[in-house]
Structure formats: C-alpha cells, structure tokens
Amino acid sequence: MLQMVLQNSISGMAMGLLYGVIGIGVCLFWQTTGLINFAHISSAMLGAYFFYTFHVMWNLPIVIAFVLAVALVALYGILILRGVVYRQIMGRKGGRLEFIVATMMLNIFLLNLTIVLWGGVPYPFPNIFGSPMNPLRIGGITIQHHSLWVLGFTVALVIGLNYFFKRTLTGKALRATAQNKDTASLMGIGVEKMTALSFAMSTGVTAIAGILLAPIYFVSVELGGGIIGIKGFASAVIGGLTNPFGALVGGLLIGLTENFSVFYISSSYRDVITFVLLVFFLIARPQGLFKKM
C-alpha cells in the first residue's frame, strides 16, 4: 500500500513539475503584460521539434542542441509575439479579446506549419534522459531516470529564476515593471525592453518543458495543441498567476491528483481532474495559493 502511494507520488511529481514549468512560463508572461498567451504551449512544441532537429537530424551535441533550441524559441517569443502580435494589437489600442483571438490563431498556424515542415507523424525521442527500460529500483519502487532529470532541471530553473528576480538589478527592474509600468519608466527602465525580456523568458522556459515532455509525448504536435497547455495554465492559476513558484506548486498539485485519481478511480478521469481543480480554485480561491512575488 505504502509502496503504491510512494510510486504514484513519484510519477505524479515528475509530470506535475513539468506542468508547473509550463505554468511558470504563463506567469512570466502575465507578470508584465496582464495577458494570457493562448499560443503559449506552442513554445513547448517548437522547443521539442528544434531540439529533435538539431540533435537527431543534424547530429549536434546534446548541450548545444538544447541551448540552441531554447534560444531559438526565446527569440520566437520576442519576434512573433512582440513584433507581430503584441505590438500590432497594443498599437491599435486593442484589448484582451483581440490578443486572445490573435494568439489562438497563431497557435493553429504554428501547429499546421509544424505539420508542413516536419510532417504529422510523431518522432520517437532519443533516450537521452535514460531509457525507460532500466529504471532505478529502490525497495519496490521504480524511479525513471527521466523523473530525476525533470527534478534536476526544475530545481536548477527555480534557483536560477530566484537569483535573477531577487539578486540582479535587471530582475528587480522586471518586477518593478510588472507592478507599475509608468513609474518603472521614471526610474529609467525601458519598459519595451523588459516586456521583450519577459516574452523571451516565458517562451524559453516553456521550450525547456517541451524538451523534457518529449520522452513522454514523443516529438509530436500533441505537445502544442493538446491538453498539456491547459494543465500548465491551470497550474499557473492555482499558484496565483503572479507568482512563478506558485505555479510549480499548482503543477505538483495537478500532477499528484491526476496520478492518484487514475489509480483510485479510473484513467478516463485523468484529464477531467485538471478542470475540476481549476473550477474549484476559481470558485474557492480565485486569487490563487500564493501572493505576488
């Protein structure tokens, strides 16, 4: 019994952390813009496809392929969102609705572009995060190497983001911009530059999540169109939208609930559970679990 609980906790945690990382991306975007990017999850898909292209197709070393893929998606965040979508809509004094519709369309466009460029057939992801065939066994519990990689990346990401936001002047300036753009510009902070930075961080972080999700979902358009994006968004909402680390807790909550409900109820409820949690939080605690960072 205890063994089953532990086993489920571990697999739930690994998935939950990934939802959480996507949620961090949602928060980073919301922080400076007060908007939800409905093409957010396309960054995860692009990250996985870019990594696959660089590492498997072009045979670049893992680290270089990884950095290149994340950087490219960060650049996509700046170019597409700020240049083509965000600036255009804000320049015409468009509202949230316009932005939502535009980013939804952008997501559909990118899904189709991906199918055109890479084909619609999922690619198997190489076992760079350990093979699922020989997991660690401790006691009666099986731990996938992949889960440990996810944990490692998440911890590194949290430490890195925390250092950036709390210790560097740029990070503090970004938080100031998130709170009050006008006053931030009076401090000499370039608000446009800060928005671009948060776009790049939001898409870049999500690209990392995409690469880590690929061993589970394959390199497929499912990464950019399916339910994963909604789970990331729900993580962010549960965490309070303004606190990136809250999103991680939200993600863990979803991941664990999901796994246990599969175990105790039925696997057909797996995706429903996210919506139940989301609706529950929107009714009971719409401000989320955590305060602004």
176 in contact with another protein (CB under 8 A)? yes
Are the beta carbons of 233 and 21 closer than 8 angstroms?
Answer: no
Stretch near another protein under the rule CB under 8 A, chosen from 87-95, 96-104, 172-180, 227-235 = 172-180
87 in contact with another protein (CB under 8 A)? no
104 in contact with another protein (CB under 8 A)? no
In the set 83, 152, 190, 286, which binds another protein (CB under 8 A)?
A: 190
DSSP letter assigned to residue 138: E
Distance separating alpha carbons of residues 244 and 158, to the nearest angstrom: 9
Are the beta carbons of 260 and 8 closer than 8 angstroms?
Answer: yes
Classify 3 as helix, strand or coil. helix
Stretch near another protein under the rule CB under 8 A, chosen from 40-48, 145-153, 176-184, 227-235 = 176-184
Smallest gap from Cβ 245 to another protein, in A, equals 14
For residues 151-170, which are near another protein according to CB under 8 A? 169
Nearer to another protein, 12 or 239 (CB): 239
Residues in the chain, overall count: 293
Count residues contacting another protein (CB under 8 A)?
19
DSSP letter assigned to residue 268: G
In the set 112, 127, 134, 180, which binds another protein (CB under 8 A)?
A: 180
Stretch near another protein under the rule CB under 8 A, chosen from 74-82, 115-123, 189-197, 257-265 = 189-197
**Nearest alpha carbon to residue 146 among 14, 250, 31:** 14
**Nearest alpha carbon to residue 33 among 275, 279, 200, 251:** 200
Stretch near another protein under the rule CB under 8 A, chosen from 21-29, 188-196, 198-206, 279-287 = 188-196
DSSP letter assigned to residue 277: H
183 in contact with another protein (CB under 8 A)? yes
Tokens for 82?
Answer: 């700020």
127 in contact with another protein (CB under 8 A)? no
279 in contact with another protein (CB under 8 A)? no
Stretch near another protein under the rule CB under 8 A, chosen from 33-41, 103-111, 177-185, 258-266 = 177-185
**Nearest alpha carbon to residue 221 among 292, 100, 117, 90:** 117
Classify 93 as helix, strand or coil. coil
Stretch near another protein under the rule CB under 8 A, chosen from 47-55, 85-93, 149-157, 179-187 = 179-187
186 in contact with another protein (CB under 8 A)? yes
Sequence letter at residue 134: N
In the set 87, 145, 172, 270, which binds another protein (CB under 8 A)?
A: 172
Distance separating alpha carbons of residues 20 and 49, to the nearest angstrom: 21
Smallest gap from Cβ 169 to another protein, in A, equals 6
Alpha helix positions (H), 119-242: 145-167, 169-179, 181-186, 191-217, 222-225, 228-239
Classify 141 as helix, strand or coil. strand
Smallest gap from Cβ 187 to another protein, in A, equals 5
Distance in angstroms between the alpha carbons of the first and the last residue of the chain: 39
Tokens for 68?
Answer: 């290149």
Interacting residues toward another protein by CB under 8 A: 169, 172-173, 175-176, 179-180, 182-191, 292-293
